[in-house]
Structure 1
Amino acid sequence: MRKSLILIEEPALSHRHFCELARLIFQENEDKRIVKNLIQLNLVLWVLFSWCRDEDNLEPAYLSAEYSLLLAWDIAKKHPRKPTVKKAFANLLSTYHTITDAYLDKCIHPFVGKKHTISKLISAPCSISINLKLFDILGRLAIKGQWLLFELTESYNKDTTKNYDSEEQISLQDRLSNVTASISQLVVNNPLLLSPYKDEQAIDLALALHLLYQDDRNKEFAKSWIDALVERVTFSYITNGMYPTNLHTYEQLLEHRNTDKTDTSYKESITKASILYPVLTVFCELYGREEAATRLEGFSKEELKNCTLQYWYPSESSEIHWFSGTDQHGVATTDFPINGKDALGHIKEECEHLNGFWQLSAVSKGHMPLTLMACRYYRYPMPFNLLFSEV
């Protein structure tokens, strides 16, 4: 705990020590200690948050809140009928929302409406660092929006009056509108969000586009964003710019920027597989972007002959590792068609055969956004099962 607090100015190190602390809290995992452990975790997380507020650096608290909630659910889900466990987990969930709200209200919402302001505030040495952080922020906004949308939907379902105008619902509507507005302003005012440098940034894009897709008020912006994304990623690849790659670290991307990108064998080696182009294809179809879809399909046939176009789906074994991140899980399918109608048919068929998503504990027990949080935190693609009703 002391190491985590002392290293607040180094968020990654602070978070690493906090994760070690959280795991130690649950080291003794007997049934009689579960509630005590959850309360302890909530307490130390709140202490970290308090110190982060005092130091004016909420990053370690945000990261640790995500991990704490996922770890806590992995434990709490085994005791679904114990009211004391439910209450302890609910208190931790409340702390998570307090921390993430504070982060967005202080660090993101006030600055998204100003041109390039978020990019400048990142204070990074080059565009690569800015690009990586912008997509990270996009994913955080999308997750907050998914939580708010889920809570609003649950409130609507319980509303026997069908007026949908209670104080709670109006508050959730306003907060959700604030988040979706921040996403659109973030993209408009920070053009690097039109140019993913890493293929895995498709995770953040899918979370955001799926959120916007569920509200008609955001569709015009989403359409223009998709058009711009398709144009940028195809153009940068053809012109050997900073096109999306399978590289992961900042150092690898920096080396890539200074490498001769006209070398065909090199280009093929760092674009061996992709989930980004499948994600763009699916959302082109959902949003009716025919011109962009045609461009993407032609680009795929001409330029991606050596790229494995694929997507990932949860399997029956995913529950064991989804919230703990202890091991890889799920199933990746290849030969993804870069054609809108074919793509939707393809993923629907896969979702019918790989239907593990709807059996996940967080989904079946009323905490569905936890699954999306885990995708963002552990870097797994958003399950396309969400596009279809449970089958």
Structure 2
Amino acid sequence: MKLLLKQYLASLRERDELDVVLPDVLSAIGFTIISRPMRGTSQFGVDAVAIGPHFRTGKKALHLLSIKSGNLTRAQWDDGKQALRPSLAEIVDVYIETRIPPRYKDLPIVIALCFGGDIQEDVRAQVKGFTDRNSIEGKLEFAEWNGDEIAGFMLSGLLREKLFPKPMQGSFRKALAFVDEPDVCVAHFTALLSQILSAANDDHQSRIRSARQIYLAAWNVFVWARDAENLDAAYRAGALSLLWMWSLCREHVVGGKRAKELANVVENMISLFRLAAHAYFEQHVLPYADIEDGLGVSVRPSDSVDVNLRLFEALGRVAVHGLWLLQLRERLAASGDDGIPEVEEELRKTLDVITSTFSNNHVFCEPLRDDHAIEIMLVGIFLVQCGLSEYFADWIEEVIGSSTYSYRTNGHYPCILRDYADLAAHPKDVEGYREEVTAGSILYPTLAVWLAVLERDDAVVELGAFREKHMPHSTFQLWVPDETSEQHLYRNCAAHGTGIAELALDDPKKLLASVIKEITEAPEFFELSAVNLACGLSC
């Protein structure tokens, strides 16, 4: 286990990775975190500050952390502005003299040299010479926290608190071993999440420990998947972790000091998921967006169904990435932060990817699964907020045209099948088969509602006529949450919600009015904790 953790730490980058994980590790083993890494302000060599036991005496001491990634080489020691030696000199010459709050002035100081790997032997003498010259026994001393030491913190502290008890360690190891086989990895990771939540008790310490378990497990999968250059497992594990952690913490993230502690872990998990989503976008989508059928070829399919399923999956992920960016832009604007241009550039890139992939991959007009309505809904919410309503409406009309034509000609029309083998064999020329696999639909009514909202009334009426002539057997319906959704939504552990089935596709205005009425009379959506609480988090 220690070797796994050390390899994980050595793979972390400095910014937004090791400097995020390390304070959480220290907090979990009893340190009090005074400050965390910040962007945009000079910290004079200090990445984080913590109060904890002195490494020699065990008495309370002020720890000033200077954090670097990987191994400490000669270049990383004394070459450039980001080198460790200049940072340590700034701590000694400036930070200690001017930045330590008065209430901590009397504490002995430990400057911790933190890195995920090891000190290379050709630089150890220089490091020792610097620390010996600047040490004052009992007042100012230096500690080396390399990957082995930090992994030891995890084992002696977090694992002593049963962060990964033995029954969980099997699932954890298997998830890491199969990061290049995403389905297998996610199966073991889901088993680990189930074990973590099953072991959680209804008290703060148990909840915070379980949340940290989830967070650390997701970090490990992300780093190992990144090294394997297959971020599908990392994305899925991150999404599951965020949802399961929210299920665990949602009733306890508002209130006093304990609630803030729990909310911080949730915020860190949100940041990790966004990091995994951005990495997935950059590695698995962006390079292929401008190439004709590029995304489809990148899937390396064994069957055409692979292309359809994987591309709609990727489309939904890109849309979610864009929605997070919109939320981030809103928060930065509210706080007056100067990072908005970077977010705007990332939004532009995301929009370009969606429009390019639509142009270069005709499969996006031919959804195979009826529940691809979910990905289409996500894309719609994103594009409409970005001012591309007409573009989105044109795409919807193409989807309807291709899908209804495929149904009439017994082609690859949308169906309610979920199993891969069944989808690969779809369609079948068997009596009653079409009626069976289209017994219900959320796809067509979702498209109809969007067209009604975007005032494409003629297209709605045409879809209604198609349904009446060719699919009268199918129950067109929309899903809305009910009073049980809050309990089951995040872990998808039971059926929940209710359906709106009486939809007037022959009258767009009546259709829209009926949907609005249902939403107005069913307030459960606005009572979901993810809606009325998550917006208060700082990520």
* TM tier, smaller: 0.7 to 0.9
Give 2:468's match in structure 1, choosing from 295, 301, 314: 301
The structure carrying a bigger helix percent of its residues is 1
Establish whether residue 171 from structure 1 lines up as the match of residue 339 from structure 2.
no
Q: Does the 8 Å contact 2:177/2:185 carry over to 1? A: yes
CA shift, 1:84, in A, is: 0.8
Compare 356-365 and 179-188 and name the one that shifted more: 179-188
Establish whether residue 183 from structure 1 lines up as the match of residue 354 from structure 2.
yes
Q: Does the 8 Å contact 1:231/1:292 carry over to 2? A: no
Give 2:208's match in structure 1, choosing from 32, 35, 56: 35
TM-score of the two chains, using structure 2 as the length reference = 0.64
CA shift, 1:368, in A, is: 9.4
Establish whether residue 23 from structure 1 lines up as the match of residue 227 from structure 2.
no
Q: Does the 8 Å contact 1:38/1:92 carry over to 2? A: no
| Distance of aligned partners of 1:109 and 1:347 in 2 relative to their CA distance in 1, 3 Å threshold | same
If asked which structure has higher relative contact order (CA below 8 Å, sep 6+), I would say 1
CA shift, 1:158, in A, is: 5.0
> Which protein is bigger by CA-based radius of gyration?
2
Give secondary structure in 2 for the equivalent of 1:119: helix
Give 2:419's match in structure 1, choosing from 249, 256, 259: 249
Establish whether residue 358 from structure 1 lines up as the match of residue 519 from structure 2.
no
Q: Does the 8 Å contact 1:74/1:323 carry over to 2? A: yes
* Partner residue in 2 for 1:260: 429
Compare 247-256 and 282-291 and name the one that shifted more: 282-291
2:217 and 2:373 mapped to 1: Cα distance?
33
Aligned residue runs from structure 1 range 174-323, under 5 A: 174-216=345-387, 218-257=388-427, 259-260=428-429, 263=431, 265-323=432-490
Give secondary structure in 2 for the equivalent of 1:332: strand
CA shift, 1:343, in A, is: 1.7
1:53 and 1:21 mapped to 2: Cα distance?
20
Instruction: Give unmatched runs, 5+ long, in structure 1.
Output: 160-165, 370-391
Give 1:13's match in structure 2, choosing from 174, 184, 189: 184
* Partner residue in 2 for 1:332: 499
Q: Does the 8 Å contact 1:223/1:287 carry over to 2? A: yes
1:25 and 1:229 mapped to 2: Cα distance?
42
Residue type of the alignment partner of 2:363: L
Establish whether residue 67 from structure 1 lines up as the match of residue 240 from structure 2.
yes
The structure carrying a bigger strand percent of its residues is 2
1:317 and 1:19 mapped to 2: Cα distance?
22
2:182 and 2:511 mapped to 1: Cα distance?
40
Give secondary structure in 2 for the equivalent of 1:115: coil
Q: Does the 8 Å contact 2:288/2:298 carry over to 1? A: no
2:420 and 2:195 mapped to 1: Cα distance?
31
Aligned residue runs from structure 1 range 101-140, under 5 A: 101-140=278-317
Residue type of the alignment partner of 1:149: L
1:346 and 1:156 mapped to 2: Cα distance?
36
Give secondary structure in 2 for the equivalent of 1:247: coil
1:368 and 1:207 mapped to 2: Cα distance?
22
User: CA deviation digits over 1:148-177, x for unaligned, max 9?
Assistant: 222323444555xxxxxx522222222222
The number of aligned residues is 359
2:275 and 2:331 mapped to 1: Cα distance?
20
User: CA deviation digits over 1:295-353, x for unaligned, max 9?
Assistant: 21221221121111111101122111111211111111212221422221111011011
Q: Does the 8 Å contact 2:406/2:412 carry over to 1? A: yes
2:369 and 2:247 mapped to 1: Cα distance?
29
Q: Does the 8 Å contact 1:278/1:337 carry over to 2? A: no
Compare 296-305 and 174-183 and name the one that shifted more: 174-183
* Partner residue in 2 for 1:149: 326
Instruction: Give unmatched runs, 5+ long, in structure 2.
Output: 1-171
Give secondary structure in 2 for the equivalent of 1:167: coil
Aligned residue runs from structure 1 range 67-86, under 5 A: 67-80=240-253, 81=255, 82-86=259-263
1:153 and 1:345 mapped to 2: Cα distance?
30
CA shift, 1:269, in A, is: 1.4
- Runs in 1 of length 4+ with deviation above 4 angstroms? none
CA shift, 1:134, in A, is: 0.8
Q: Does the 8 Å contact 2:214/2:241 carry over to 1? A: yes
Give secondary structure in 1 for the equivalent of 2:367: coil
| Distance of aligned partners of 1:366 and 1:8 in 2 relative to their CA distance in 1, 3 Å threshold | closer
2:333 and 2:496 mapped to 1: Cα distance?
34
CA shift, 1:113, in A, is: 1.4
Residue type of the alignment partner of 2:393: K
Identity of matched residues, %: 29
Compare 113-122 and 297-306 and name the one that shifted more: 297-306
Give secondary structure in 1 for the equivalent of 2:499: strand
2:205 and 2:424 mapped to 1: Cα distance?
51
